[in-house]
């Protein structure tokens, strides 16, 4: 069996005035995470883990922070790019395990919902996605959210299965194109993105 393992890490400081988005979910919290994109620390870590597993670089290689196209971008766009890279390399996801490190909000009550969301984005069943949360005791990072992610990939042996994955991902890209067009239309009438930092990850 041809398998690959990838590890990803990301960290963002909390920032008032922006929505908090983790694992593709909008979470009710007084502060969000600063970032050039939407600051989704969990999806960023998973994206880097996927890219690393097939030696394809990292988020910054594909989405540099100086590129204004990614200001306020939905991090699912980054994740889909990583999935394309592993698909092109002939692999598929076996499972993903993640750990969030943050003081607040509490992830336990929404972990199941977050697992469902991440599984949907990765086109796997929820039982193949692990989401855990720890507090940063003794780390002196009380105003920061961190995420660690490990992925296991296996080579796809059936070419027909690869074509099926391509169809699923193409449907996701079409949906993202529609959403991106709507966002551009809204921004075109003077709505300014609240994200103003220069850090893409």
pLDDT in tens, 20-35: 999 999 999 999 999 8
pLDDT tens for each residue of 83-133: 999 999 999 999 999 999 999 999 999 999 999 999 999 999 999 999 999
Is 183 a residue whose pLDDT tops 90? no
* Residue 72 confidence (pLDDT): 75
Q: How far apart are CA 131 and CA 45, in angstroms?
A: 12
* Residue 138 confidence (pLDDT): 81
* Residue 73 confidence (pLDDT): 86
* Residue 193 confidence (pLDDT): 41
pLDDT tens for each residue of 127-161: 999 999 999 988 888 899 999 999 999 999 875 65
Is 50 a residue whose pLDDT tops 50? yes
Percentage of the chain exceeding pLDDT 70: 78
Q: What is the mean pLDDT of residues 12-17?
A: 94
What is the rounded (10 degree) CA torsion for 53, 59, 60, 65? -170
Q: What is the mean pLDDT of residues 179-187?
A: 58
Q: How far apart are CA 143 and CA 145, in angstroms?
A: 7
* Residue 190 confidence (pLDDT): 47
Q: Where are the beta strands (DSSP E) in 2-143?
A: 3-16, 20-22, 25-27, 31-33, 91-101, 129-134
State how far the alpha carbon of 137 is from the alpha carbons of 103, 105, 110, 122, 134, in Å: 9, 15, 21, 31, 9
* Residue 163 confidence (pLDDT): 55
Tokens 């929404």 belong to 110
- More confident position, 195 or 181: 181
State how far the alpha carbon of 96 is from the alpha carbons of 8, 37, 130, 192, in Å: 11, 23, 6, 35
Q: How far apart are CA 192 and CA 68, in angstroms?
A: 13
Spatial neighbors of 63 by CB under 8 A, at least 6 apart, are 37, 70, 73, 78, 81, 200
Contact 90, 155 (CB under 8 A): yes
All structural domains of the chain: 3-188 (3.30.1330.50)
């Amino acid at each position: 069996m041809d398998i690959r393992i990838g590890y990803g890490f990301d960290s963002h400081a909390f920032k008032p005035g922006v929505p908090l988005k983790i694992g593709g979910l909008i979470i009710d919290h007084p502060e969000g995470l600063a970032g050039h994109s939407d600051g989704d620390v969990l999806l960023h870590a998973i994206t880097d883990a996927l890219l690393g597993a097939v030696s394809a670089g990292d988020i910054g290689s594909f989405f540099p922070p100086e590129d204004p196209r990614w200001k306020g971008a939905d991090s699912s766009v980054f994740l889909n790019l990583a999935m394309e890279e592993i698909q092109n390399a002939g692999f598929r996801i076996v499972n993903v395990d993640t750990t969030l490190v943050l003081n607040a909000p509490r992830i336990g009550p929404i972990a199941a919902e977050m697992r469902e969301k991440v599984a949907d984005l990765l086109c796997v069943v929820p039982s193949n996605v692990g989401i855990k949360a720890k507090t940063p005791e003794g780390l002196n990072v009380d105003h920061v959210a961190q995420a660690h992610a490990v992925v296991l990939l296996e080579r796809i042996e059936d070419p027909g299965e690869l074509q099926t994955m391509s169809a699923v991902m193409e449907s996701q890209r079409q949906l993202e194109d529609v959403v991106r067009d709507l966002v551009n239309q809204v921004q075109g009438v003077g709505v300014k993105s609240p994200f103003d930092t220069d850090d893409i990850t």
